Structure 1
């Protein structure tokens, strides 16, 4: 006697019970969305808040780096822009949103800098 007919009877009885709920079928997709939220979206929002706080905290005298790679000392702070001194009297107006890094007032000078401060 073979066990195969018994297995087919059990599987056909389960199949006759009906399809699983559509809500139950969507559960894995909802789980993937939750995982994506906590691994991608939430950290990005946190970085945006930190960047906004950093940009709002800049004051005159801070040394900043822009997205274009310019390094300068802030000479004036306005609502949406800052004016930086890029060296030798070169003044540039930069949007606050373009600030990537604030190095602070006490930034050490490079070893090969021969200018006297």
Structure 2
């Protein structure tokens, strides 16, 4: 009349390869989606920013990460610093890494 616990239980879960693969497929799909939606575009933006910083030259109008807009007056090639004029006669030394945007290109460097 009563069912014994031995009959009520199903077959023991086997550790076969198909169950392992079916458990890993969602994690692999999530990683692939994250790669294409987040990681790859971020790497592209970082590469473009580094290229922009490398190509800064005298006369460019730049925006710093703090929001200061100024004109590049001197670029030190061997250093990671540039000199930016933020007002008439006010020049500040700025690390290249603090440049967030180059708004307009200036004149080419004269030899």
**TM > 0.5:** yes
Instruction: Please state whether the residue corresponding to 1:21 is helix, strand or coil.
Output: helix
Structure 2 residue aligned with 1:88: 88
Q: 2:47 aligns with which of 46, 49, 55?
A: 49
Deviation at 1:105, TM superposition (A): 3.8
Q: 2 CA distance for matches of 1:92 and 1:40?
A: 36
Structure 2: segments with no counterpart, 5+ residues = 1-9, 107-111
Q: 2 CA distance for matches of 1:35 and 1:73?
A: 41
| 1:16–1:68 CA distance, 2 compared to 1 (3 A) | closer
Instruction: Please state whether the residue corresponding to 1:73 is helix, strand or coil.
Output: strand
Provide the TM-score with structure 2 as the length reference. 0.75
Q: 2:35 aligns with which of 32, 37, 45?
A: 37
RMSD after superposition: 1.9
Deviation at 1:36, TM superposition (A): 0.4
Higher relative contact order (CA 8 A, sep 6+): 2
Instruction: Please state whether the residue corresponding to 1:50 is helix, strand or coil.
Output: helix
Q: 2 CA distance for matches of 1:95 and 1:17?
A: 61
Instruction: Please state whether the residue corresponding to 1:41 is helix, strand or coil.
Output: helix
Deviation at 1:64, TM superposition (A): 0.4
Q: Which runs of 4+ in 1 moved over 3 A?
A: 15-20
Deviation at 1:95, TM superposition (A): 0.8
